[in-house]
Amino acid sequence: MADNLNFTGTIINPEWMPSWSVIEIPDSKDFFGTGKSVKATAAVDGIAVTSALMPTGQGNHFISVSAALRKKLKKDVGDEVQVHIER
């Protein structure tokens, strides 16, 4: 079982939480072995993200992307980012 997950994600405002900006983590339930909130080391475009990874309620997890993080990334909703997650 791999201890790292790398993928290209898109910053979105999901239908299930439209006031938030998030990056959905594909296949995260299988990767983490749970559908509950998890702590993991994550980086978005090389910038460390320290929040817990929360369940979407749709079977995956998400990374919350605050306005401050979007500013650091120089990215906004609809932009693609590189994500690295370590268990």
Tokens (6 digits) for 59: 């079977």
* 73-87 residue pLDDT tens: 999 999 999 999 998
The CA distance from 68 to 75, in Å, is 10
- Is the CATH code 3.20.20.10 the one for domain 4-86? no
* 13-64 residue pLDDT tens: 999 889 999 999 999 999 999 999 999 999 999 999 988 999 998 889 999 9
- pLDDT of 70 reads 96
Q: How many CA atoms, within 13 angstroms, populate the side-chain half-sphere of residue 6?
A: 4
Burial of 3 (0-12, 13-18, 19+ CB in 10 A): exposed
The domain segmentation of the chain, as residue ranges, is: 4-86
- pLDDT of 1 reads 57
- Assess whether pLDDT exceeds 90 at residue 2: no
Tokens (6 digits) for 28: 């995260």
Quick check: helix, strand or coil at residue 76?
Answer: coil
Report pTM: 0.92
